[in-house]
């Protein structure tokens, strides 16, 4: 099955509104003629609405970096799914390792967030990945299996169709280290086989699985040449228009 490549940029806690708009204007110019690749960017919350307005008429999708599962209430500092829909978000990133590591998110809270996002019509980029210690101890597959099972618990076939899974080995995020294409492919294939066992071959073959972790213009082509790697969730390299655009245009390399 042919799956549409999907490159998403996670800006994390970077860019003021003005800086975000400057970057988006550059991106639109660089990516004007790109076809057959879906592109999304995830600015910080403060820039979402302004970026949404700047993206109007563009094929670039808007994503948020997180959400809370309640619709409203006394949850100081949180943002609901409907708030993200209102400012033009199409995707939301859920379960990123930094959210798990620094803010105490668990497989259970990730699952609640995913269900809330899907319930309001947002598509989800669901992150999984192991630490260096877990990889060295041979626990990569058991960790990823647990995260996928926990994150997707209670979701049916119609719901998982709106999920993109991002495999991000934590030891490769922002470190300059990248899993080899073969290492990444091995885990991507494992995830797809797990989805087939949980749902069906048709569902598993239709779900896109991105790779994340120090993705650059230099390594994107080798990663995308792998059978089960359908795109990339890009961190630091998404903060510069020219660099991110080269990653998006991997087919031209």
Q: Which residue in the list 38, 54, 90, 96 is annotated as catalytic?
A: 96
Q: Which residue in the list 134, 168, 185, 188 is annotated as catalytic?
A: 168
The four Cα atoms 160, 161, 163, 168 give a dihedral, to 10 degrees, of 90
Cα–Cα dist 158/200, whole Å: 12
Q: Catalytic residue at 90?
A: no
Please provide the DSSP assignment of the chain as one string: -----EEEEE--S---HHHHHHHHHHHHHHTTT--S-EEEEE--GGGHHHHHHHHTTSSPEEEES---SSSSSS-TT---HHHHHHTT-SEEEES-HHHHHHH---HHHHHHHHHHHHHTT-EEEEEE---HHHHHTT-HHHHHHHHHHHHTTT--HHHHTTEEEEE--GGGSSSS----HHHHHHHHHHHHHHHHHHS-HHHHHHS-EEEESS--TTTHHHHHTSTT--EEEESGGGGSHHHHHHHHTGGG-
Q: Catalytic residue at 96?
A: yes
Active site residues: 96, 168
């Amino acid at each position: 099955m042919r799956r549409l490549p999907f490159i998403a940029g996670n800006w994390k806690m970077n860019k003021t509104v003005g800086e975000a708009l400057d970057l988006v204007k550059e991106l639109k110019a660089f990516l004007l003629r790109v076809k057959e690749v879906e592109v999304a960017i995830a600015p910080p919350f403060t820039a979402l609405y302004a970026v949404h307005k700047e993206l109007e008429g563009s094929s670039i999708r808007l994503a948020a970096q997180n959400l809370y599962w309640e619709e409203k209430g006394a949850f100081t500092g949180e943002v609901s799914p409907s708030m993200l829909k209102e400012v033009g978000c199409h995707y939301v990133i859920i379960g990123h390792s930094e959210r798990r590591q620094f803010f105490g998110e668990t497989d259970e809270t990730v699952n609640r967030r995913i269900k809330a996002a899907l319930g309001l019509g947002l598509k989800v980029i669901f992150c999984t990945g192991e630490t260096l210690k877990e990889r060295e101890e041979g626990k990569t597959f058991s960790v990823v299996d647990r995260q996928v099972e926990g994150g997707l618990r209670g979701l049916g076939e119609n719901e998982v169709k709106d999920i993109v899974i991002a495999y991000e080995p934590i030891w490769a995020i922002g470190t300059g280290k990248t899993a080899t294409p073969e290492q990444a492919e091995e885990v991507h294939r494992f995830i797809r086989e797990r989805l087939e066992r949980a749902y069906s071959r048709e569902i598993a073959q239709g779900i896109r699985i991105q790779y994340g972790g120090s993705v650059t213009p230099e390594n994107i082509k080798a990663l995308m040449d792998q059978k089960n790697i359908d795109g990339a969730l890009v961190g630091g390299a998404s903060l510069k228009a020219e660099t991110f655009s080269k990653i998006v245009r991997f087919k031209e390399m």
